[in-house]
Structure 1
């Protein structure tokens, strides 16, 4: 049994399969999930687990070279907007509809229980060397 880090076996296994350039969508409970990507659904109840908690857990495990979010987060969810700005100084912002299109090409989708709008980010994996 693992001592620390991500204990969910489905999520830990999916993360271990990622490579440089793969994308991971971390999304709220309302984001439509397209057919195609592997999905690890962590949603339990509205707000549980929170977007911030899951994102920070993933960032502890992954090398991330870029992040993209919906520009609508700026006006609709100031808390998520501030969180994304703090974690990703070079955050790319695109229309939400475009983010949904890009989600179809993600290697992995991690669905949280977040119940506030536009708490979604597409992470691009980097390398540790």
Structure 2
């Protein structure tokens, strides 16, 4: 049994399969999930686990080259906006509709229980060397 890091076996296994350039969508409970990508649904109750908890946990285990979020997050969800700015100084912003289109190319979708709007980010995996 693992003693640290992400303990959820489905998520841990899915992360181990990612490679350089793969995309991971971390999304709130209301984001439409596209057909195709592997989905690990962590949502338990509204707000649990939060977007922030999941992003922090993923960043402890992933190398991320870039991040894309919906521009609507700026006005609709200042908390998520601040979190994204803190973690991703070069955050790319696109329309929510464009983010949904880009999400179709994700290899993995991690659904949180977040119940605040636009708490979504598309992460592009990097390489550790």
Fold shared, TM-score > 0.5 on shorter chain: yes
CA distance in 1, matches of 2:101, 2:37: 12
CA deviation map 1:47-105 (0-9, x unaligned): 00000000000000000000000000000000000000000000000000000001111
What RMSD over aligned residues (CA atoms) do the two structures have, in Å? 0.3
Which ranges in structure 2 are unaligned for 5 or more consecutive residues? none
CA distance in 2, matches of 1:110, 1:80: 16
**Aligned-pair distance for 1:38?**
0.2
The residue aligned with 1:126 is 126
The residue aligned with 1:9 is 9
**Aligned-pair distance for 1:15?**
0.1
Structure 1 SS opposite 2:15: helix
CA deviation map 1:1-26 (0-9, x unaligned): 00100000000000000000000000
For these two proteins, the number of residue pairs brought into alignment is 129
Structure 1 SS opposite 2:60: helix
**Aligned-pair distance for 1:124?**
0.2
CA distance in 2, matches of 1:11, 1:94: 27
The residue aligned with 2:43 is 43
Q: Give the TM-score, by structure 1 length.
A: 1.00
**Aligned-pair distance for 1:118?**
0.1
Which ranges in structure 1 are unaligned for 5 or more consecutive residues? none
Structure 1 moving runs of 4+ over 6 Å: none
CA deviation map 1:104-123 (0-9, x unaligned): 11000000000000000000
- 5 Å matches for 1:1-129? 1-129=1-129
